[in-house]
Amino acid sequence: MSGTVLTDRIITLTGRKVVGGVAEGEALVTRDTISGWGGVNPMTGVILETRHELRGQSFKDKILVFPGAKGSSGWSVVFHMSRLAGAAPRAMVFNEMTTKVALGAVVMRCPSVTDLDQDPLEVIDTGDWVRVDADAGTVQVRKRAAV
Amino acid sequence: MKLSDAEQAMLDGSHGRATQKAMELLVRYAEALGAQRFVETTNVAGVPGSATPFLQQHYAKSGGSYAAIFSHFDLDSDELLDVPQAVTHTCHLQSGYDPQNWKLLGAKPEAFELAQGSEQFIKDRGVEILKTCTPYLVGNVPRFGEHCAWMESSAVVYCNSVLGARTNTEGRESTSAAMLTGRIPDWGFHCDDYRHGSHLIEVDFPVESVMDWGMLGYFIGAAVGERIPVLRGRYAVPDLIRHKHFGAAAASSGGVEMYHLVGVTPEAATEEAAFGGGSPVQTIHYGVEQRRRVYQDLNSGASDSNVDFVMLGCPHAAIEQLREAARLLESKHISANCNLWIFTSRTVKAEAEREGIVRTIRAAGGAVLTDTCSAIGQAVPPGTKVVALDSAKQTHYLPAIMGIQAWFGTTSECIDAAITGRWRGELR
């Protein structure tokens, strides 16, 4: 993030609570759906999937912003294990509801929101500071800008 | 959420703490989905209680017992619970170890013993130990309209599409909770509207062989993602092996959980019925050119024609597939530089033993293995560099998981590669 700085510009998105709680941190944004089993190393939170735009990057302690889940029914197990290993994201913001992502968010005990009034993939960029208040269904985005 | 009196009683703890914790987890899950109520499920397929060294160590404070793993991981409960009997029909899907050939698969004795212990723990709770990704091949055939709670994407797509039973792609925690409550959220594929087709697939190329059904599935999954394809056109009515390979492939390249074949599958008597009176969001053609590209895509990770491993049985082989392998291997022997592993369920293997098929395959130098596969068990023979596969699903996963090259072709081409040690497959 060299050459950039957090600005005072704050955008608020409103949606629906998936799992309650409040968390804030740096956003990690992808337009690719995420596979759990076979796609993520639960011990490190690193995305493994070949051809994934986040391949090699970890979601550990990030606010993970993504379209949704895909792949094996082992999705929840892999994300559940990432919590046990201390490699889970701090919060999740996503667009498409599936049983995989719902169960994964629940067992990760990870504040999560969906059905937002603006597309989070359009509004949020990697590196922005994001505060998720899942109980209120809000996502506050503090934009990062080049200096 | 609207809970029935029986569900409220479970949530209030009148059936004990484990049932209460299971119900709490299901309520959290249903609220996450936005579901309003539960359905009663009479058919659960999951992986309850599966112990790994990591989980055992992580829950050491609770003794690292099977009950600790089931309580803390399966039910996501911070409290250690007494785990009661399953209250609804539940089976265990595939796992990581063949109990007869775990050494061949390279398993460590401690990990294998742990897995054996969790099998006993779950067997004692009334769970059927099917140990296969194909429960529908070994007696678990849900009836039309039955509400199921199944894991395993290839089984889910078969359950919805071929049988007309109803399941979402469940996970380990939701299936273990369903096992103790007989409930699962009424959402997604349990609802009529959700099951209607979204995309029309015009099959212009005549699809007949198992390999062709696998390629068509792989093409469609990539094209429709998580949506529901409706197929019409030039295909012969597929048998269950073709359905198995088609669905597994579509659930791997995409997230297809249900498909309709007009005039074939039970909720697609007509195209109109398949779309529920609506119209397709998109029409996609599958012809010679699309077929050629899928074939290239599946074989794009291979360049070395020296094959040192052939793996068949993804999803687990049906008895007819073992018969075919035995016929191709009769009076032959596989190359000294190659290994041949064929994965199936314990039940199908027992039948294959009665028919002398296992003996024929073994005499040729191959092995018939159960419970797992190379991807699930993360097991290939030591030093493997190039594998040959007849499953688009396994071709999708195995090279990425194990860092090896993979050729994709027909069963016959794979067996030929096992015998000659060379890949000579081509698109015919």
A126: closest CA of chain B, how far (Å): 25
Q: Cα separation of A110 and A132, whole Å? A: 10
Residue B149's H or E segment, with its range, is strand B148-150
Helix residue ranges per DSSP H, B275-356: 288-298, 319-329, 346-354
Does B351 score more than 80 pLDDT? yes
- Can you give the pTM of this predicted structure? 0.96
For testing contact with chain B, the best of A33, A55, A73, A110 (most B CBs within 10 A): A73
For testing contact with chain B, the best of A44, A66, A72 (most B CBs within 10 A): A72
Q: Output the pLDDT for position B282.
A: 98
For testing contact with chain B, the best of A79, A99, A114, A115 (most B CBs within 10 A): A99
Q: Cα separation of B386 and B371, whole Å? A: 23
The CA distances from residue B149 to A145, B88, B168, in Å, are 47, 11, 7
Per-residue confidence at A146, pLDDT binned at 50, 70, 90?
confident
Does A139 score more than 80 pLDDT? yes
Q: Looking at chain A, which residue has its C-alpha nearest residue B251?
A: A71
Q: Output the pLDDT for position B171.
A: 98
Query: Which position among A2, A58, A72, A73 bears the catalytic label?
Result: A72
Q: Does A72 touch chain B (CB under 8 A)?
A: yes
Q: Does A100 touch chain B (CB under 8 A)?
A: yes
Structure tokens at B307: 């094959």
At B316-345, the pLDDT tens digits run: 999 999 999 999 999 999 999 999 999 999
Average pLDDT of the residues in A110-131? 98
Inter-chain touch B401–A38, beta carbons under 8 Å = yes
Q: Does A41 touch chain B (CB under 8 A)?
A: no
At A25-75, the pLDDT tens digits run: 999 999 999 999 888 999 999 998 877 999 999 999 999 999 999 888 999
Q: Does A82 touch chain B (CB under 8 A)?
A: no
Mind giving me the DSSP string for B226-262?
Answer: TS-EEEEEEEPPP-HHHHHHHHHHHHHHS-----EET
Q: Output the pLDDT for position A3.
A: 85
Average pLDDT of the residues in B72-92? 98
At B293-309, the pLDDT tens digits run: 999 999 999 999 999 99
Mean pLDDT of the residues in chain B: 97
Dihedral (Cα; B121, B124, B127, B130), 10-degree rounding = 70
Q: Is the distance from CB of A93 to CB of A132 less than 8 angstroms?
A: yes
Q: Cα separation of A140 and A11, whole Å? A: 6
Kindly list the structural domains of chain A, giving each domain's residue range(s) and its CATH number in brackets, ordered by start. Answer: 4-146 (3.50.30.10)
Count the Cβ atoms, other than its own, within 10 Å of residue A121. 17
B329: closest CA of chain A, how far (Å): 33
Q: Does A77 touch chain B (CB under 8 A)?
A: yes
Q: Output the pLDDT for position B401.
A: 87
Residue burial B110-133, b: 16+ Cβ < 10 Å; e: rest: ebbebbeebbebbeebebbebbbb
Mean pLDDT of the residues in chain A: 95
- What is the percent of chain B with per-residue pLDDT over 90, rounded to a whole number? 98
Mind giving me the DSSP string for B46-112?
Answer: E-TT---HHHHHHTGGGTS-HHHHIIIIIS--SS-------SS-EEE---S--TTTTTTTT--HHHH
Count the Cβ atoms, other than its own, within 10 Å of residue A129. 17
Q: Is the distance from CB of B47 to CB of B95 less than 8 angstroms?
A: yes
Inter-chain touch A107–B168, beta carbons under 8 Å = no
Q: Cα separation of B34 and A102, whole Å? A: 9
Q: Cα separation of B188 and A104, whole Å? A: 17
At B359-393, the pLDDT tens digits run: 999 999 999 999 999 999 999 999 999 999 999 99
Does A1 score more than 80 pLDDT? no
Mind giving me the DSSP string for B13-59?
Answer: TTT-HHHHHHHHHHHHHHHHHT---EEE-SEEEE-TT---HHHHHHT
At B4-45, the pLDDT tens digits run: 999 999 999 999 999 999 999 999 999 999 999 999 999 999
- For chain B, helix (H) and strand (E) counts, in that order, are 17, 15
Cα torsion B389, B392, B395, B397: sign: negative
Structure tokens at B3: 């809970």
Q: Is the distance from CB of B378 to CB of B401 less than 8 angstroms?
A: yes
Q: Is the distance from CB of B193 to CB of B224 less than 8 angstroms?
A: no
Q: Which amino acid is at B10?
A: M
Q: Output the pLDDT for position B163.
A: 98
A4: closest CA of chain B, how far (Å): 36
Kindly list the structural domains of chain B, giving each domain's residue range(s) and its CATH number in brackets, ordered by start. Answer: 5-190 (3.30.499.10), 196-297 (no CATH), 302-420 (3.30.499.10)
- A72 annotated active-site: yes
Q: Output the pLDDT for position B196.
A: 98
Q: Output the pLDDT for position A50.
A: 78
Q: Cα separation of B150 and B97, whole Å? A: 21
Of A19, A100, A107, the CB nearest to B169: A100
Which residues lie closer than 8 Å to B386 by C-beta, 6 or more apart? B302, B304, B305, B306, B307, B308, B309, B404, B405, B406, B407, B423
At B248-293, the pLDDT tens digits run: 999 999 899 999 999 999 999 999 999 999 999 999 999 999 999 9
